[in-house]
Amino acid sequence: MKRDQIGVQLYTLREMAAKDFDATLGAVAKMGYSGVEFAGFHGHSAADVRGMLDKYGLKAFSAHVPIDQFENDIESVVSDMQTVGAPWVVIPFVSPEDRSPAFFADLSAKMNAWASRLKEAGIRLGYHNHDFEFTMTAEDGRTIFETLLSITDPDLVSFELDLFWAAVGGYEPDQVMRQYPDRITLVHLKDGKQLERGKDLPFGEGALDWGAILSAAREIGVQYYITEQDNPNPDDPAGDVETALRNAERVAD
């Protein structure tokens, strides 16, 4: 992991970003982050956001885009990613009411089609996991994560492995990466002392075995390492984001 590979998922700073997106990007740049992963543009156009990135010397590593945006207007997804310069766009979440084996089989086919269009534009598609992909099984006994891997085209669809959520799901993140070395290209750096929902901590502040995890990530050639918290300190989310970066810098190559 090199310093210029470390970014932040702006969902961690969602309340700050909703109030002042420009200032939030400025704060992230001042901390020393090289790039960001978006979780929406908070009412700004892609062109305006690109201007903010350029002003602060930040790169757009990737963006989380909800499924319905792909289904309703993939061309706007393509245009937005090209405008902000993001080489990756990631499906972030599947709603609980949609989590059935049939839904994921259908989603996998759709992801192949979306990824084919994105590839034409020079953009790659990823899928971001939570714990349920590792705990839910299809009729054939495979986990949802395995189902997604088996149905999606490896030349088109990659995965953004959320390391904390994989551990919450009962799997060793380093083993998951080594089992699927050609499918995992991005990772979320998230930690925890208790492997439970709602107990996530800044990277380096919990009990995950980061020596083993980062060794595996280097081996498989992870492109971007993105810090994230679903539940940052409500009184100082920016402090958590900076703590994660300082800890990542200490173990960077």
| pLDDT (tens digit per residue) in 15-36 | 999 999 999 999 999 999 999 9
Q: Are 183 and 149 in contact (CB under 8 A)?
A: yes
Please, what is the angle between helix 67-84 and helix 101-120, to 10°?
20
Handedness of CA 231, 111, 85, 222 (dihedral sign): positive
pLDDT digits (tens, 9 = 90+) for 228-237: 999 999 999 9
| 90 phi/psi in degrees, rounded to 5 | -130, 135
Q: Look at residues 106, 100, 102 and name the one whose alpha carbon lies nearest to residue 132.
A: 100
Confidence at residue 139, expressed as pLDDT on a 0 to 100 scale: 84
Confidence at residue 149, expressed as pLDDT on a 0 to 100 scale: 96
Average pLDDT over every residue of 83-106:
96
Domain ranges of the chain: 3-251
pLDDT at 203 over 90: yes
The percentage of the chain sitting over the pLDDT mark of 90, rounded to a whole number, equals 98
Average pLDDT over every residue of 130-150:
94
- At 219, the pLDDT band (50, 70, 90 cuts) reads very high
* CA distance linking residue 190 with residue 200, whole number of Å: 7
Average pLDDT over every residue of 98-121:
96
Mean pLDDT of the chain: 97
pLDDT digits (tens, 9 = 90+) for 34-54: 999 999 999 999 999 999 999
CA distances from 133 to 107, 169, 201 (A): 13, 8, 21
The CATH label, of 3.30.465.10, 3.40.640.10, 3.20.20.150, 1.10.599.10, for the domain at 3-251 is 3.20.20.150
- At 138, the pLDDT band (50, 70, 90 cuts) reads confident
Confidence at residue 91, expressed as pLDDT on a 0 to 100 scale: 98
E strands within the chain?
6-9, 35-38, 59-64, 88-91, 124-128, 157-162, 184-189, 224-227
- At 83, the pLDDT band (50, 70, 90 cuts) reads very high
**Cα 173 from chain centroid (whole Å):** 15
> Hey, is 127 helix, strand or coil?
strand
